[in-house]
Amino acid sequence: MLGRMSAAYEEAAALLTGQGVAFSPAKGAAVAEKAARSGDAACAAIMANLAGAGFGASQDWSAALDWLVRAAELGHEHARAQLALLSGMESNAGAMRAAVDVQAWVAARPTQLLLARPRIGTARGFLEPPLCAWLKQRAGPLQAAARVYNPSTGQPMHHDVRSNTTALFTILETDLPLLMVRRRIAETVGVPPLHLERTSIFRYEPGQRFTRHVDYLDPHQTQYRQQIATYGQRVLTFLVYLNEDFDGGETTFLLIGRKFRGRSGDAVFFYNVGETGDPDQLTAHEGSPPTGGQKWLLSQFIRNKPQAPG
């Protein structure tokens, strides 16, 4: 990757994330675009992310790939690596961009309903092996102690019920392969892409677990009502196993006595609410601990309202 980032990149990054300054996506995008057009490779990579995410505008894969080519041609190694993964070839940036089949990348994958109550389904081979390896490599440096919602305040906190680590991808940490995975998820389960929360990738070391919990927000708890009203209910959880070289580590639904574990690239998804939209208590589950090896899992929560950018 590049060395020290430019002042323009730091300014754009702060505006796009609200770190240290007022959150202003429009200003951040304007700063990044100006710098990118002036030859700032890292800002060109940001512009690829913004276009691919539909951040402040309609999602535009063509523009995203054009920005990625510009970043690669300016020496951005990660941009070039993205093009190589997406195209399946090593060549000049323009040739790789021409070989990217966006529709094939984002198209819905076949699913199978496993249970009607709670509604649990699977998508076998949802992600290809090179993509699983890519996501693990991207998530490794970003791992931090995972958090849970505080039942009293509704805010994230650390708690011993959850001992695994997680990588959370903001608009700065994401990239086009991950953005295309997100679109693939949306197409597969038939939801608007903007209803997806930020993507997380969990890592479980032997013995680490996430004990019994539910993914929906309990509307009977006052601290969650405003969040549901503003950002919507978590209606669906989509999990993808990124590896299989571990023992144990199932996703265990405790009230129905069922365990699920996929092979590398397989997905399991479940609806956290019933047909009427009410929380389904039968979705109570745990991330059981691996007894040997590391478990890597992509987690995508989906709401019933559009999410804030970033």
Summarised one tens digit per residue, pLDDT across range 99-114 is: 999 999 999 999 999 9
State both tokens at 115.
Answer: 């249970």
Compute φ and ψ for 241, nearest 5 degrees.
Answer: -80, 120
Bond into 118 cis (ω within 30): yes
Distance between CA atoms of 172 and 214, rounded to whole angstroms? 29
Q: What is the CATH number of domain 112-303?
A: 2.60.120.620
Residue where the block lists tokens 């574990």: 261
Q: How far is CA 8 from CA 21, 37, 43, 180, in A?
A: 14, 12, 8, 27
Residue-range domain boundaries for the chain: 7-100, 112-303
Distance between CA atoms of 174 and 150, rounded to whole angstroms? 27
pLDDT at 3: 55
pLDDT at 222: 86
| Amino acid type, 299 | S
pLDDT digits (tens, 9 = 90+) for 2-24: 457 899 999 999 999 999 999 99
Cα(first)–Cα(last) distance of the chain, in Å?
Answer: 22
pLDDT at 1: 42
Nearest alpha-carbon partner for 257 in 234, 286, 228: 286
pLDDT at 164: 86
Which residues of the chain fall below pLDDT 50?
Answer: 1-2, 157-159
- For residues 71 and 40, the answer to whether their CB atoms sit within 8 Å is no
State both tokens at 303.
Answer: 């709401």
